[in-house]
């Protein structure tokens, strides 16, 4: 069973969309194994977005993600990395298809409501930035009707 790391970014929280977003993941049948609200410090934000270090928007991106609290989640499910990226929609909210989280709620690239790991390798790096092993709860669910 695959896992992914999802962040609800400051715009998602300020716009009171956290419940709506979490609900979409739950209704899809994904399991929440870990969840916390935190204000990211610069060091962890830079580690999280290290692959974008050379991009022109990098500083703005780090400033933004550290500006206000976020919610971090570990989700589990079949093919959950691609499933969650499908639910989130294209990075640029103005191009995201209606019915996706960004398609329904974002019209910006930077303020695009959620972040989701794009690969198993990214998940492994990202989860270590946000969670200790004992904060990920693998055994709290049954799988009735969800496999």
Give the residues lining the site for ligand CMP (CB under 6 A): 52, 57, 61, 91, 109-110, 112, 115
Q: CB of 141: closest distance to ligand CMP in angstroms?
A: 26
Q: What is the spatial order of strands in the sheet that 31-38 belongs to?
A: 31-38, 70-77, 2-8, 114-116
Spatial contact of 36 and 71, defined as CB atoms under 8 Å apart: yes
Pick 43 or 141: Cβ nearer ligand CMP: 43
Output the CA–CA distances (angstroms, integers) from residue 84 to 55, 57, 62, 138, in the order listed: 24, 24, 23, 18
> Tokens standing for 99?
């019915």
Pick 128 or 146: Cβ nearer ligand CMP: 128
Pick 100 or 112: Cβ nearer ligand CMP: 112
SS3 for 20? helix
To the query of whether residue 115 is one of the catalytic residues in this protein, the response is: yes
- Taking the C-alpha atoms of residue 23 and residue 61, their distance in angstroms, rounded to an integer, is 26
Q: CB of 119: closest distance to ligand CMP in angstroms?
A: 12
Pick 57 or 141: Cβ nearer ligand CMP: 57
Phi, psi of 32 (to 5 degrees): -90, 115
Q: CB of 147: closest distance to ligand CMP in angstroms?
A: 28
Active-site annotation holder among 48, 52, 115, 137: 115
Q: CB of 111: closest distance to ligand CMP in angstroms?
A: 7
Residue numbers annotated as active site: 115
């Amino acid at each position: 069973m695959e896992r992914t790391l999802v962040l609800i970014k400051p715009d998602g929280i300020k716009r009171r969309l956290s419940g709506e977003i979490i609900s979409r993941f739950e209704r899809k049948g994904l399991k929440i194994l870990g969840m916390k609200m935190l204000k990211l410090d610069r060091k962890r934000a830079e580690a999280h977005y290290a692959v974008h270090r050379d991009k022109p928007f990098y500083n703005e991106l780090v400033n933004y993600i550290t500006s206000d609290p976020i919610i971090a989640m570990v989700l589990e499910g079949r093919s959950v990395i691609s499933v969650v990226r499908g639910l989130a929609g294209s990075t640029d909210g103005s191009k995201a298809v209606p019915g996706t989280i960004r398609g329904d709620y974002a019209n910006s690239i930077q303020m695009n409501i959620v972040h989701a790991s794009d690969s198993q390798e990214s998940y492994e790096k990202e989860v270590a930035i946000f969670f200790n092993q004992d904060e990920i709860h693998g055994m709290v669910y049954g799988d009735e009707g969800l496999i």
